[in-house]
Structure 1
Amino acid sequence: MTALATIVLPIFALIGAGWGARRLNWLGPTAARELNRFVVWLALPALMFDIIAKAQWSELYRPGFIAVFGLGCLLVFCATTALRMASGAAAADASVDGLTAGYANVGFIGFPLLGAAFGPTSMVPASIASIITVCLLFAVALVVVEAGSAAKGSALSIAAKVTLALGKNPIVIAPIAGGLMLASGWTLPAGIDRFLTLLASAASPAALVSLGLFLAGSPGKIAWPVVTPLVAAKLIGQPAATWLLGRYLLPLPPGDLAIAVILAALPTGTGPYMVADLYQRDGAIVANGVLLSTIVSIATVTVLLGVFA
């Protein structure tokens, strides 16, 4: 009950505040997109840059954590994509569904949740997990979508498109820039450091309110036969796979294993919806997956926090 009251409820209350503000028409239909752009282009990159730039190399060098969390994401993505293709879905649609099952909402929920549950030391692994999700998993999904879309191209052209897309992503650029700052040994001027700190502090609450706004505009009709397995894979399959990997195959210290499992158990982020929208695939399944996984995760994440936190 303590974990529910002090960690989970405030996080989901912010999501509920965004949802209610949209439903009551306090914020307009473009609010979700605009606030999301603020988070993606300004606040979250500032947070990730600040975390990486001020970290120690010993904190970033976590090959076991990277392998366990990354393999957990890829296993769920690949299994879901393969099963959806076996059921007759097109490769592009199956890839979006796989992304829905394996894309943890690290940026919008992971940072504030881990900060509340595990403290500031959890921000570095959260940043690593965010990079894995946004770079590795996103890149693999885009390759499958590009390969399965009507406008087929060579492997080189697909690789170029994926590289260009990732190279323009501020969530990719920011931690790289932070790593360069860390490697240089320089420190930021006090004024710039304060600016980044203020901007970074807005990332978590703005991201959660933005997610609530997005969920308020999600389609109401749910395709249960498709969405339910995706949500089960996300909230049960991915944390279970991550725990098995980190407990038996690639043993992690208890603290790192707890963080990896909690991150893997997070609901689906909005990344798959962006891919569906970009490639004009069916966005209703993704939106419902985000909505349902977010609601159900209130219970599942609370249980896991009681076990691991």
Structure 2
Amino acid sequence: MQAVISAALPVFGLIFLGYLCARRAWLGDAALDALNRFVVYLALPAVLFQSMAQITWAELVNPGFLGAFGGGMAATFALSFLLDRTVRGRLTDASIEGMGAAYPNAGFMGLPLCLVAFGPASVPAVVVAMLLTATVLFAISIGIIETDLQATPNWRRTAGFVARALIRNPLVVSPFAGMAFAAFGITLPAPVLHFTTLLGGAASPCALVAIGMFLAQSSGAAKEPRIARAVGRLVGLKLIFQPAITAFLAFRVFDLPTIWAHSALLLSALPIGTGPFMLAQLYGREAAVASRAILISTVLSVVTVSLLIGWFSVR
């Protein structure tokens, strides 16, 4: 449990710091939007570009892990998407809710926890999980949102609008730019690598501070029954449903080697990351559900992830 608490404490600390900033008005009224845009347009694209530029095909091509972790993520996204679609009906909101249930905090918590639990041999699994989460899941969610927002009676015109919106979106463009570097065997020059490392290092801290600021500004929304039900649904799907599906796929369907199976299960059991909140803010949708689900799932994961790591040790 100590390892889980050590990984979770910085998350709580940064959220609390953002809460204080908003309550004391240390950063001003426009800080929340500015922080979120900094993450979406600058910091996170730097992370995605660098990660994809440095990836190797040997790390990416593991069909069993892709099937187990990706399958659990896809099933969770689909179920949450359908549940929200029946309640609110809007594709944009359902896409953000689907992402909220399936988006693990693989980078901020996954890497330190996997290193403690399984050692350096688990790093490739963490890298692939981060790429699936921050690249594939982001791209699918953004594609659905843009299709909804750009919809016209003419499907070709809609497709053109969506394509232009995706091309202008740095969260979609940056990983493909990185893939081009990797495909042609181009090594990032040292200054570029240092630049993207510095810029990308601000992504998670700024996003968590922004969540804390949002929580401080919208404390009354948590009392609404609809929001409470949505938060409970997301937390349940993330901490219970996704790891259950991933475990079935990892152990029963793909019969992964122990290190890959355990890594897939642990990464799928992590609390919700900051991505859903950032998308909700970016597209001007309701962010109260995402922000509270991130906080509550992180608190509860101290227990659930500790139990899971304990199970690994006796298995």
TM-score (norm 1): 0.78
Kindly indicate whether residue 101 of structure 2 is the aligned counterpart of residue 101 of structure 1: yes
Deviations 1:183-235 (A, max 9, x none): 32333333333333333444444444344334433444333233312221122
Partner of 1:252: 256
Partner of 2:270: 266
Deviation, 1:249, is 1.4
- Structure 1 counterpart SS, 2:198: helix
Deviations 1:118-163 (A, max 9, x none): 6666565444334433454445445655677795545545544444
May I ask how many residue pairs the two structures share in their alignment? 308
Kindly indicate whether residue 132 of structure 2 is the aligned counterpart of residue 128 of structure 1: no
Partner of 1:89: 88
Aligned CA distance change for structure 1 residues 29 and 253 (closer, same or farther; 3 Å): farther
Q: Which piece of structure 1 moves more, 271-280 or 186-195?
A: 271-280
Q: Which piece of structure 1 moves more, 180-189 or 273-282?
A: 273-282
Query: 2: CA distance between counterparts of 1:156 and 1:55?
Result: 35
Deviation, 1:78, is 1.9
Aligned CA distance change for structure 1 residues 189 and 168 (closer, same or farther; 3 Å): same
Deviation, 1:298, is 3.6
2:52 touches 2:182 (CA, 8 Å); kept in 1? Answer: yes
Query: 1: CA distance between counterparts of 2:171 and 2:143?
Result: 19
- Structure 2 counterpart SS, 1:221: helix
1:8 touches 1:302 (CA, 8 Å); kept in 2? Answer: no
Map 1:1-309 to 2 at 5 A: 1-86=1-86, 88-92=87-91, 93-106=93-106, 109-110=109-110, 124-141=124-141, 151=151, 153-222=153-222, 223-273=227-277, 275-276=279-280, 281-308=285-312
2:238 touches 2:272 (CA, 8 Å); kept in 1? Answer: yes
CA RMSD of aligned residues (A): 3.6
- 2:216 maps to amino acid: A
Query: 1: CA distance between counterparts of 2:162 and 2:64?
Result: 26
Deviation, 1:303, is 3.5
- Structure 2 counterpart SS, 1:187: coil
2:4 touches 2:305 (CA, 8 Å); kept in 1? Answer: no
TM-score (norm 2): 0.77
Query: 2: CA distance between counterparts of 1:211 and 1:107?
Result: 17
1:103 touches 1:269 (CA, 8 Å); kept in 2? Answer: yes
1:69 touches 1:264 (CA, 8 Å); kept in 2? Answer: yes
Query: 2: CA distance between counterparts of 1:252 and 1:291?
Result: 32
Aligned CA distance change for structure 1 residues 2 and 96 (closer, same or farther; 3 Å): closer
Query: 1: CA distance between counterparts of 2:109 and 2:33?
Result: 17
Query: 2: CA distance between counterparts of 1:202 and 1:115?
Result: 22
- Structure 2 counterpart SS, 1:33: helix
- 2:261 maps to amino acid: L
Structure 1 gaps, min length 5: none
- Structure 1 counterpart SS, 2:66: helix
Deviations 1:94-122 (A, max 9, x none): 44433332233445655666567666665
Aligned CA distance change for structure 1 residues 44 and 108 (closer, same or farther; 3 Å): farther
Aligned CA distance change for structure 1 residues 192 and 290 (closer, same or farther; 3 Å): closer
- Structure 1 counterpart SS, 2:221: coil
